[in-house]
Amino acid sequence: MFGKLYKIAVSSLIILCGIGTMPIHAQTLVGPSGELPHLSVGNTAWMIVATALVMLMTIPGLAFFYGGLVRRKNILNILMQCLILVAAITLEWMFFGYSNAFGSSTGALKGFIGGFDWAFLKGIKITDLSPYAISMPNDRIPHILFILYQCMFAVITPALIIGAFAERIKFKGFLIFSVLWAIIVYNPVAHWIWSSDGWLYKMGAIDFAGGIVVHINAGISALLMAILLGPRRYYENHPTPPHNIPFVVLGTGLLWFGWFGFNAGSGLAADGLAANAFLVTHVAAAAAAFTWTILDWAINKKPTTVGICTGAIAGLAAITPAAGFVDFSGALIISVLSAMICYYMVGTVKIKLKYDDSLDAFGVHGIGGLIGSVMVGVLATPSVQSAYTGSLHGNMHQLWIQLLASGVTILFSGVMTYILFKLVEKFIGIRADETEEADGLDLSQHNEFAYTESE
């Protein structure tokens, strides 16, 4: 089945590649051969911390953020989904996912998916240096640390989709779908954008920390899943009240904190580029949270706690692809724009189109990631990285490349999500039945209650 799906994906991409583009300079991730790379203790120490921060984003960050937003009868199901993805996707990544995403292949698949040279971490020693570096190409981190850092991205991406189908999916169907999605959707897209062999990377597409690979990819799949599953039973086209808003605040704080590792760590070094990514990440979260609050206040007459939390996440999603390419002013523009557009998507578009994106995975992550991925083609400034400029600095081609990369990812993610959903639905089952949904997924899927009355 995997082979057939890969062939379908590759064939569609070959057709898409017929749309000609002119290659532009893209900074190579592989260091120059003139000086031998060496292990940097400082960079290694920072990247160990950054890796732990990114893991913190899934558990407990995303788990509490999503868990607080659902009804009390479904919180354990959300926590369990986040936990099982950390376990299952980690194993998939170490078995062959990393090799598929960052390895090399030959023939028709070259540029579209890596091979199996590094499957089960074959041949990788603890003394080996990462084949990738950015602003400090000779000051490397251990290869195994780079693998683990990227593993945390592979874990959180399918976890983001949870927000779209919360409260109505069978656990078995969810798990099978998520693992297949990681293999067949995430790994190829990561290869296209982040691998030095990737076809979009070679065209010059830029995505510093995952606006395309993570947020657009997960966001489009979230929309498809929400539509294909259908709304929650007795859903009346308006949000259900969160059962624990303090959990939402806790999750937001953990996500905000962990995002510093997500963005500032993506330069793979403790240097000025990391410091800039750190700064613009915080500014974007703050500006988007403030903008969302003002919109809430003006439109709904009251500023809400859930609103400010949602705004912060929208700003963080939007700055992710641009964190290594824009300065303070660029971050401010991206974050305010993302807050306004995401607010409109969540508060107006979703209601008008009547799709049940339960926790706004598409409206916040998908749309936020798309805004940042396109706007970096406008706002990228050579004052951050001299090799990269956007249309404001005369490079209109970068904007075209960002639109192409975003569009191809939207198409690929949407098509493959549809195929995977239909396969899992047919052979395993994916939608919880009426009784299971009414009883709550904590009881029907796990035979547990999150809250019990004291005797």
- Spatial CA neighbour of 374 closest among 416, 325, 310: 325
Residue 31 pLDDT grade (very low, low, confident, very high; cuts 50, 70, 90): very low
pLDDT of residue 379 exceeding 80, the answer is yes
Residue pLDDT, tens place only, 403-444: 999 999 999 999 999 999 999 999 999 999 999 999 999 999
Q: What's the mean pLDDT in 93-121? A: 94
Do the beta carbons of residue 200 and residue 193 sit within 8 Å? Answer: yes
Which of the 8 DSSP states describes residue 239?
Answer: P
Q: What's the mean pLDDT in 98-124? A: 93
Residue pLDDT, tens place only, 344-371: 999 999 999 999 999 999 999 999 999 9
Residue 34 pLDDT grade (very low, low, confident, very high; cuts 50, 70, 90): low
**Average pLDDT of the chain to the nearest whole number:** 91
Phi first, then psi, for residue 385 (nearest 5°) are -135, 120
Q: How would DSSP label each residue in 296-348?
A: HHHHHSS--HHHHHHHHHHHHHHHGGGTTT--HHHHHHHHHHHHHHHHHIIII
Residue pLDDT, tens place only, 278-305: 999 999 999 999 999 999 999 999 999 9
Distance CA 141, CA 176 (A): 34
Q: What is the pLDDT of residue 108?
A: 84
Distance CA 196, CA 131 (A): 10
Q: What is the pLDDT of residue 20?
A: 30
Burial 168-195 (b: 16+ CB within 10 A, else e): bbbbebbbbbbbbbbbbbbbbbbbbbbb
Q: What's the mean pLDDT in 293-318? A: 97
Distance CA 455, CA 449 (A): 15
Residue pLDDT, tens place only, 216-265: 999 999 999 999 999 998 877 677 899 999 999 999 999 999 999 999 99
Selected residue with higher pLDDT from 383 and 1: 383
pLDDT of residue 378 exceeding 80, the answer is yes
% of the chain at pLDDT higher than 90: 86
Q: Which pTM was predicted?
A: 0.91
Distance CA 278, CA 323 (A): 8
Q: What is the pLDDT of residue 454?
A: 55
Residue pLDDT, tens place only, 329-343: 999 999 999 999 999
> For residue 236, what are its two tokens?
């009346």
Residue pLDDT, tens place only, 149-193: 999 999 999 999 999 999 999 999 999 999 999 999 999 999 999
Q: What's the mean pLDDT in 203-224? A: 97
Do the beta carbons of residue 401 and residue 389 sit within 8 Å? Answer: no
Which of the 8 DSSP states describes residue 241?
Answer: P
Do the beta carbons of residue 125 and residue 214 sit within 8 Å? Answer: no
Query: Longest C-alpha distance within the chain, in Å?
Result: 73
Written as one letter, the residue type at 402 is Q
Q: What's the mean pLDDT in 308-325? A: 98
> For residue 363, what are its two tokens?
């409206």
Q: How far is CA 227 from CA 358, 411, 441, in A?
A: 11, 16, 20
CB within 8 Å of 229: residues ≥ 6 apart: 165, 168, 169, 356, 430, 431
pLDDT of residue 17 exceeding 90, the answer is no
Report how far apart the first and last C-alpha atoms of the chain are (Å, whole number).
52
Q: How far is CA 370 from CA 32, 257, 286, 295, in A?
A: 33, 22, 19, 21
Identify the structural domains of the chain with CATH numbers, from first to last.
Answer: 37-446 (1.10.3430.10)
Q: Is 35 left (phi over 0), alpha (psi -120 to 50) or beta?
A: beta
pLDDT of residue 1 exceeding 50, the answer is no
